[in-house]
Amino acid sequence: MEYHLNFNFVWKYADKLWWGLALSIQLAFVAILIGCVIGLALALAHSGGNRWTRGAVATYVEFIRNVPLLLLIYLVFYGIPSAGGFAYDATFSFVVTLSLYSGAYLVEVFRAGLDAVPKGVIDAGKAIGLTPWQRFVHVRLPIMLRVVLPSLSNAFISLFKDTSLASVIAVPELTYGANWIKTNTFRHIEVWLVVWPIYLAAGWAILAALRQLERRFRLGGDR
Amino acid sequence: MSDPLVRIRGLRKSFGATRVLDGIDLDIARGEAVVVIGPSGSGKTTLLRCINVLETYDDGSIQVDGVEVGYAGPPGPRRRPRSESDLARIRADIGMVFQLFNLFPHLTALENVMLGLVKVRGLPNAEAKARAEHWLERVGLSEKLRSLPGQLSGGQQQRVGIARAVAMEPKVLLLDEITSALDPELVGEVLATVRQLASDGMTMVVVTHEMTFARDVGSRVVFMDAARVVADGTPQDVLVDPRHERLRAFLARIEMKRP
Amino acid sequence: MIEFALRTLPFLWDGFLVTLHVSALVVVVSLVAGVAIGIGFAYGPLWLRFPLRVYSDVLRGTPLLVLIFSVYYLLPMMGLNLQPFPAAVIALSAFKAAHVGEIARGAIGSIARGQTDAGKAIGLTFAQRLAWVILPQAVRRFLPPWVNSVTDTVKGSALVSLVGIVDLMLAAQQVIGRTYEPLPVYVLAAFMYFAINYALSVASRRLEARFAYIRE
Ligand SMILES: Nc1ncnc2c1ncn2[C@@H]1O[C@H](COP(=O)(O)OP(=O)(O)OP(=O)(O)O)[C@@H](O)[C@H]1O
Ligand SMILES: [Mg+2]
């Protein structure tokens, strides 16, 4: 059987794809912001904490990192409300899941970043009389953020791709838009031939922009 | 003679089982430049770090301008380690320049010098900037105010390190082998800066392996070996007519390394 | 809870085995393909490196879910009528091979040039240098990120449930369809995934200890 590709639908439903892409990027953005807050807080709790806080942080990180994101999405969207006798918006539930997920990954990133701040530079901060809080705000934090910036870029791209999983709970992001068009036009092949390059192009464009940003904040050479 | 600016008595410090400072006594008068020499591992760095309380000391006393730096309360076994805010205040008056520069890598030369002036001294931005520019000019870096440390040569970085320390107008300046990480051709520019400071009357403790420099700037030379002060006197006494056997051996080794 | 677990476990068990099966296939295929890609990256001529670069960047830039759907629908158009199972395994393997390729490239690249020169100097051929000089040293750099990627494979295999393969993920969904108790079933399934990956991490630590003799 001869199959003829037909891309007419793309123009008809372009807004579904466009708004889907916009939502995907927003979801990834919110998730990495909240993930950074979680990750940094837990990295600090881990480095300064006692055995119990360390154990709690490790449990959270290990659990999230060893369970499929898809399962976590279902668990948060269907599992938890069913036990608590409430319901929430799919988008909200997905943001919660993706934030917890990215938080678990970013703990490790921030921990490595904090460790990468040279001890001598912190000593220099002490030597000019900075208080511990000032040393954190003006020395450790800004250096650490510059060190982890490339990892944050990679994490963001990774989260952007992960947003495609939100389609399974009907969050209207890009993959959901694709599925929707597919079921309404039966143009299975064409839909994926369009959506795949959209993900690629968007991901590369975002990455190029982030690398530009990294260049601006790069710490000087011989270190 | 007036009270010494830095007064060290019976200072002891161990890392685990190794005794690194074993009963150090040392007085440093205002305006004096004391050079500390000694073989590797003799405790020179640790002595400087104790004065600035980057290390706590176990026993004995370090007073800077009459204030015990590491401990609060009456002397004796019941004294307690100083709070972080006390330490910040005390360290603000003790300058330190590091062997590996330790500049803040995310800040420009100017910002490196300004940070302490604004956050610790509480100067308004404009005033801090003027003072930082003044000191960077004094160390010959007025062209490099906006450079990040990574864009500077080792010698330039170290001069920023010196400007950062002196701009705080410390009572005493501690210099720990500040040229040993530099290429030979960059050593001169840094030492010239220090010489200038010494002749301006800055009180300083200089750990160095540069013997000519020790002779030039030191009003006094202290030789440390195996956690103790072994010799203490004028450059003439210590470097030219060494009486101590281990000191003679040390100086002979240093001489031999010269080209 | 325990009683509930005992009742549902047999249903989940079949899915668990399917998850292991899919993961194992993908790990083996992607390991072989990925190491070949890595060698191609490190030593191949430009006409080989360029398509490999395109392949790697395209696959790594694609969401796995989109890749699985695309392969599932595109292959039939190219005359390959595949069942969901092989289609999903191909998609996952192609995806993981790109990642393993980058890991292998990095590991090989970390070996000093002098090693190749030394191998040449004693008269080893290219294949001999690879087999006896380069790869044994690269293993140490390769293993830690590769083990991470194996864990990712196990987690990624959950996506095959979306094309109807009854793996642990879909088995859990089916049990929930009958019992209407999502939370305990999901938690149970989560622990089963956790168990696989935990076992992997223990095994990997043994493996890494075995190769720790190679100093850097
Ligand atoms: N943080 C530390 N923990 C454990 N031991 C230390 C520490 N810092 C220094 N030491 C030990 O203390 C001793 C004295 O070290 P110190 O750095 O003060 O010597 P130094 O005279 O400055 O030597 P160098 O000329 O090599 O700089 C050495 O044996 C060193 O190994
Ligand atoms: Mg030293």
pLDDT average, residue stretch C142-171: 94
Is B40 a pocket residue for ligand 1 (Cβ < 6 Å)? yes
Using CA coordinates, name the residue in chain A closest to B151.
A220
Cα distance from B78 to chain A (closest Cα, Å)?
25
Cα distance from A50 to chain B (closest Cα, Å)?
21
- Is the per-residue pLDDT at A183 higher than 90? no
Domain containing C205 equals: 2-210
Is B259 a pocket residue for ligand 1 (Cβ < 6 Å)? no
Chain A hits for B164, CB-CB cut-off 8 Å, are 124, 128
Assess if residue C215 is contained within a domain: no
Phi/psi of residue B97, each to 5°? -120, 135
pLDDT band at A222 (very low <50, low <70, confident <90, very high): very low
Q: Which pLDDT score is estimated for B258?
A: 56
Of the candidates B59, B126, B115, the one whose C-alpha atom is nearest the C-alpha of residue B92 is: B115
In contact, C98 and C62? CB cutoff 8 Å? no
Q: What is the pTM of this model?
A: 0.87
A39 touches chain B (CB under 8 A): no
Q: Which atom of ligand 1 is nearest to the CA of B227?
A: 14
In contact, A166 and A73? CB cutoff 8 Å? yes
- How far apart CA B111 and CA B55 sit, in angstroms, is 27
For ligand 1, the distance from its centroid to the CA atom of residue B44, given in whole angstroms, is 8
Mark yes or no for CB contact C194/A196 under 8 Å: no
Overall number of domains in chain C? 1
Using CA coordinates, name the residue in chain A closest to B169.
A128
In contact, C184 and C175? CB cutoff 8 Å? no
Domain boundaries, chain A: 8-217
Q: Which residues pair with B62 in a beta bridge?
A: B8
Average pLDDT, chain C: 90
Assess if residue C195 is contained within a domain: yes
Is B41 a pocket residue for ligand 1 (Cβ < 6 Å)? yes
Assess if residue C162 is contained within a domain: yes
Q: Which residues, including other chains, have CB under 8 Å from residue B151's CB and lie 6 or more apart?
A: A220, A221
- Is the per-residue pLDDT at A25 higher than 70? yes
User: What are the residues whose beta carbon lies below 5 Å from ligand 2 (ion)?
Assistant: B 45
Assess if residue C138 is contained within a domain: yes
Range from B194-203, B224-233, C1-10, C154-163 carrying the lowest mean pLDDT? C1-10
Residue predicted with more confidence, A104 or C119: A104
In this complex, whether A and B touch, counting 3 or more CB pairs under 8 angstroms, is yes
Chain B hits for A132, CB-CB cut-off 8 Å, are 84
Q: Which residues, including other chains, have CB under 8 Å from residue A182's CB and lie 6 or more apart?
A: A188, A191
pLDDT average, residue stretch A188-215: 92
- Is the per-residue pLDDT at B95 higher than 90? yes
Q: Which atom of ligand 1 is nearest to the CA of B177?
A: 27
Percent of chain C with pLDDT over 90: 61
CA terminus-to-terminus distance, chain A: 63
pLDDT per position as a tens digit, C34-63: 999 999 999 999 999 999 999 999 999 999
Q: Which atom of ligand 1 is nearest to the CA of B209?
A: 25
- How far apart CA C118 and CA C140 sit, in angstroms, is 20
Q: Which pLDDT score is estimated for A217?
A: 85
Chains contacting chain A through 3 or more C-beta pairs under 8 A: B, C
pLDDT average, residue stretch A184-212: 91
A80 touches chain C (CB under 8 A): yes
Which one of A120, A219, A221 has the shortest CB-CB distance to B106?
A: A219
Q: Which pLDDT score is estimated for C41?
A: 94
Each as own residue / partner, the long-range contacts of residues C128-136 (CB below 8 Å, 24 or more positions apart, any chain) are C130/C39, C134/C108, C135/C108, C136/C214
Q: Which pLDDT score is estimated for A12?
A: 84
CATH architecture of the region A8-217:
Orthogonal Bundle (1.10)
pLDDT average, residue stretch A80-87: 84
Is B46 a pocket residue for ligand 1 (Cβ < 6 Å)? yes
pLDDT average, residue stretch B219-226: 92
For ligand 1, the distance from its centroid to the CA atom of residue C66, given in whole angstroms, is 58
ipTM score: 0.92
pLDDT average, residue stretch C189-198: 94
Q: In what order do the strands lie in the sheet with B6-15?
A: B18-28, B6-15, B59-64, B67-68
Scanning A173-192 for CB atoms below 8 A from B yields none
Both tokens of A212, joined, read 């530009």
For chain A, the C-alpha Rg in angstroms (whole number) is 21
Phi/psi of residue A7, each to 5°? -105, 15
Q: Which pLDDT score is estimated for B216?
A: 82
Using CA coordinates, name the residue in chain B closest to A140.
B104
Q: Which pLDDT score is estimated for B211?
A: 85
pLDDT per position as a tens digit, C196-209: 999 998 888 888 88
Q: Which pLDDT score is estimated for C213?
A: 65
pLDDT band at B259 (very low <50, low <70, confident <90, very high): very low
The CATH number linked to C123 is 1.10.3720.10
Assess if residue C216 is contained within a domain: no
